[in-house]
Amino acid sequence: TMVTRSVCQVLQRNFASAAAAARPPAAEVHSQRNAIFSREQARQRALYPRIEKIEVSMQGPGLDGTLLVMNKGMSTPLSCARHLTEHHVTNSVMALVDGKPWHLHQPLIHSCSLTLLTFKDSDPTLVNQAYWRSCAALLGQVLERAFKDEFRAELLSIPEVPVTSGAFCCDVVLDPQLDTWIPSEEALRSLTRGAQQLIHRDLAWEPLEVMPSVALEVFSDSRCKQEEVEQKAAQCPSGTVMLYRCGDHVLLSAGPLVARTGLCSQYEVTALHSLGQGAWGLHRRAQGLSLPLQLQAHHTVWRKLRRRAEKPVRTNITDFFLTRLPKSSDIKAKALRPARRRRAVSVLGQWCGLMLPHV
């Protein structure tokens, strides 16, 4: 009944408020997560005290037959790229190791074949998906840091959505005090500026494969993230989970990310939709649009892409009732931290071709 639903929503809000009040300060949480990540990273590197050599057979245009002798557990695909040309260093986005998607900063642990992937490959599907995932991770990082200390934001998940959806997204619960906050255009621009600052810093996404116990310790302050750790570990044949660090921000990812934030170019936060009350409070979906450095769009094309990226991205049947928050200059927009303050390329490959079928 409607009365029962209202009572449940009140209880959920009260629970969320109590949970938010019990959490440690955001700076303390980030520091703890970062310290555990560094500790585990150092432990794994110490597993290879002696330098052992492995052979890496390069694959790809002009590279077939190239054999590199690298260091086991220390050398990465990016290390291999540095033995080739500057073009391979600057344009490589991710890699295939024995045909398996591999992050550019992830150490190689045995002799293997290696293919370096770029945005302009004949089949950019894997690269595009990794880019979309990375842009969503960047959006989540911005949201977690965008609000003043008294307004806590918690990331729920980064839904896996195809590039053809028109927008990348991440789900978040804001502090219960902000349940009535309606983001204005200026608030969205402030979030965009936060993302552009991270892009300008050209930060690496550092990968770290860990046992669930380590990931649970990293996210010990978040029951939501602990559940996500358990789910991802259950889905992985090795029973491990992948963590990534960007600056001092640690996150979970369902798949490989691109090498660094500087690979992003045009980037805009386009919408914040309401998903309604959920287990952790008022669930919201933040959305954005981006194109990589090598595939920039003319402003007329970008406007079309942006209009499409404002529309709600639905990832499952429960999102059917997703409602969009109307735009307003609500006074609570002051909760946001103040952010500090082309050439057109004709070939956008499959990217815009896939994203513009219905605009």
DSSP 299-313: HHHHHHHHHHHTSPP
Q: Which residues of 90-123 are buried (b: 16+ CB within 10 A; e: fewer)?
A: ebbbbbbbeeebbbbbbbbeeebebbbbbbebee
Q: pLDDT tens-digit profile of 39-70? A: 999 999 999 888 999 999 999 988 988 999 99
Reported pTM: 0.82
Tell me the three state secondary structure of residue 202: coil
Using a 10 angstrom Cβ sphere, with 0-12 exposed, 13-18 middle and 19 or more buried, the burial of residue 275 is buried
| C-alpha closest to that of 115 among 90, 75, 88, 87 | 88
Beta-carbon contacts of residue 65 (< 8 Å; ≥ 6 apart): 58
Residues of the chain with CATH 3.10.20.30: 53-117
Alpha-carbon distance of 116 to 64, in angstroms, equals: 12
Alpha-carbon distance of 248 to 141, in angstroms, equals: 10
| C-alpha closest to that of 41 among 250, 201, 261 | 250
Residues of the chain with CATH 3.30.980.10: 125-355
Alpha-carbon distance of 229 to 213, in angstroms, equals: 9
53-117 is a CATH 3.90.1150.10 domain: no
The CATH number given to 125-355 is 3.30.980.10
| C-alpha closest to that of 34 among 250, 207, 224, 201 | 250
Q: What is the DSSP letter of 147?
A: B
Structure tokens that stand for 119 in this block: 């945005």
Q: From first to last of the 359 residues of the chain, give the pLDDT tens digit.
A: 544 444 444 444 454 444 444 567 878 899 999 999 999 999 999 998 889 999 999 999 889 889 999 999 999 999 999 999 999 999 999 999 999 999 999 999 999 999 999 999 999 999 999 999 999 999 999 999 888 777 888 889 899 999 989 999 999 998 888 888 888 999 999 999 999 999 999 999 999 999 999 999 999 998 889 999 999 999 988 899 999 999 999 999 988 999 999 999 899 999 999 988 877 788 999 999 999 988 888 888 999 999 999 999 887 644 433 444 444 444 344 455 554 433 333 335 455 555 554 43
- Answer yes or no: are the C-beta atoms of 127 and 104 closer than 8 Å: no
C-alpha distances (whole Å) from 117 to each of 58, 101, 104, 121 are 12, 10, 10, 7
